[in-house]
Amino acid sequence: MKPVMALVGRPNVGKSTLFNRLTKSRDAIVADFAGLTRDRHYGNAKQGRYEFIVIDTGGFEPTAETGIYSEMAKQTRQAVAEADVVVFVVDARGGLSAQDHDIAGYLRRLGKPTVLAANKAEGMTEGVQLSEFYELGLGEVNAVSAAHGQGIRSLVDTALGLLQLPEEDEEEGAESEDGVVKLAVAGRPNVGKSTLINTWLGEERLVAFDLPGTTRDAISVPFEKGGRKYELIDTAGLRRKGRVFEAIEKFSVVKTLQAIESANVVLLLLDATQGVTDQDAHIAGYILESGRAVVIAVNKWDAVDEYQREQLQRQIEARLAFLKFASLHLISAKKRQGLGPVWKSIGEAHQAAMTKMPTPVLTRLLQEAVQFQAPKRSGMFRPKLRYAHQGGMNPPVIVVHGNSLEHVTDAYKRFLEGRFRKHFNLIGTPLRVEMKTSK
C-alpha cells in the first residue's frame, strides 16, 4: 500500500503550493470525490522509487456558520487520521501564531510521525531566522520554499524516513508468485459492497485458505473459486465484524485508492437505484488512471423497473464511455442473481491484463496497421513506425519504436490501440500504447 502524507497548517502558509509541487510530476490530481471530501484534495506523488498519496487540506472555504477555526480543525483531524505521516507547514516569513501552537499541540499529543516545514524560506538564513519554530516542540525545522522548489526533496526524504517502507519495491499490482489474483470491490457507500462480499463468502464452493503476511490493518480475505486463488483486498469502507463484513460510516478515499492500486482486478459496483453519479465517475476515472483491470456490475437490478433500466443503460454508455472495454453485468447481490458471469469476467479481465505479447507478433500487427492506414504527415515530418515490444503488464503496455513519433496523432494512437486490443482480445483491461522515437 502506498503511504499517505497529509499537509496541515493554517491558511496561507503554502500547503496548496506544496501539494501542487509534490503532485505535479504525476500531473494526475486524483479524483475530487465530489460531495464526499469537498474540502480535501488527494494526489499522487513520487520521489525516487517511492510513491505516496498526498492529502491537502488547503482547499476549504470557511463559512460564517462553521467558523474558520472549527472547520480547519475538522479538516486537519480527518486528514491526519488518514495519514501515515504528517507534514506540518508553517510560514517562515509570517512567524509563529497562536494557531500554529494549537496545531502543534494537537500533533504532539497524537504522536503520529510528523515533520515540520517552514515554508517561504527562500533566501533566509536558517540558523538565525528559523530558531523560533523549535518552540513548537516538533524537532528539526525543515526550511523549504514550495514556490521555488527548495528543500522539498530533503523534506520528503525526512518524512518518508519516518515510515518503515519496504526495502524492495514490490512490482506495482503485478501478480504475486503464487498466482493469487488480487481483487478489490470499489464503489460509493451503500451500493452493496458488503452485501455482495458476504454473499460471496457465504457460498459453500468458496474455500478460504491461509495467506501469510497480510498488510497492516487491512481486511484481506484469501479464497479459492473455480480452481483459481483470489485475495479480496482491503475494500474501502468495510470492516470485519465477526464472520461478516459491514460498511463503516465514513467513506475513505485513501482506502479506495490504495485498494485499487494494490489490486489486479477491480470490480466497480454501481447502484441501479441511484444511476451513475459523479462519485461513481470519479472512482471509475481513478481505476482507469491506475491501469487496473476492471469489471463493472450494476447492483440492485431487482429494485428498478423497465424504464429505469433503460435510463441506466444509456447513462452508463454516456458517463462511463471511457471504460467501454470493460464487461458490464446487471446483478442483485441480495437476491443472488447474475453473480456467476461476474466471476467469469473477473477471470477474463485478469487474463487480459497479464497477456504476454511477443515482439514479432506486435511488430507484425504494427506493420499491418500501417499498411492499412499510414499515420498522417505533419509538416515536414512523416512518423515512421518501425517495431513494437511489450513494456509491461497489468496494464499491458505496448511500446512502439520509430522516428518522428511525437507527430503521431491521438486518433492514430487510438486506431493502433484498437487493432492490438482486437488481436489479443483484451477485454477488461486498459491498454497503453507509448511512442518511443529513436534518437
Cα distance between the two ends of the chain: 37
Q: Residue 120 or 182: which CB sits closer to ligand GDP?
A: 120
Beta bridge partners of 145: 150
Among 103, 116, 247, 265, binds ligand GDP (CB under 6 A): 247
Site string for ligand GDP, 81-120 (x = CB under 6 A): --------------------------------------xx
Q: Does 124 participate in binding ligand GDP (rule CB under 6 A)?
A: no
Among 191, 276, 294, 365, binds ligand GDP (CB under 6 A): 191
- By beta carbon distance, the residue nearest ligand GDP is 58
Q: Is 71 exposed, middle or buried (0-12, 13-18, 19+ CB in 10 A)?
A: middle
Q: Does 146 participate in binding ligand GDP (rule CB under 6 A)?
A: yes
Q: Does 193 participate in binding ligand GDP (rule CB under 6 A)?
A: yes
Taking the complex as a whole, how short is the minimal distance between the CB of residue 133 and ligand GDP, in angstroms? Answer: 15
Contacts with ligand GDP by CB under 6 A: the residue count is 32
Among 3, 43, 113, 187, binds ligand GDP (CB under 6 A): 187
Helix axes 15-23, 152-161, angle to 10 degrees: 80
Beta bridge partners of 240: 245
Taking the complex as a whole, how short is the minimal distance between the CB of residue 367 and ligand GDP, in angstroms? Answer: 48
**Element housing 79 (H / E):** helix 68-82
Q: Residue 192 or 428: which CB sits closer to ligand GDP?
A: 192
Q: Residue 84 or 280: which CB sits closer to ligand GDP?
A: 280
What phi, psi does 8 have (nearest 5°)? -125, 165
CA angle 417-172-159, nearest 5°? Answer: 130
Q: Residue 277 or 363: which CB sits closer to ligand GDP?
A: 277
Nearest-angstrom CA–CA distance, 56 and 44? 11
CB 158 within 8 A of CB 193: no
Contacts (Cβ under 8 Å, ≥6 apart) of 231: 180, 181, 182, 183, 211, 220, 221, 222, 223
Sign of CA dihedral 225, 228, 234, 237: negative
Among 333, 346, 349, 366, binds ligand GDP (CB under 6 A): 333
In 3-state terms, what secondary structure has residue 220? Answer: coil
Q: Does 172 participate in binding ligand GDP (rule CB under 6 A)?
A: no
Q: Residue 332 or 404: which CB sits closer to ligand GDP?
A: 332
Taking the complex as a whole, how short is the minimal distance between the CB of residue 209 and ligand GDP, in angstroms? Answer: 24
Task: Provide the binding-site residues for ligand GDP, judged by CB under 6 A.
Answer: 9, 11-17, 58, 119-120, 122, 145-148, 187, 189-195, 247, 299-300, 302-303, 332-334
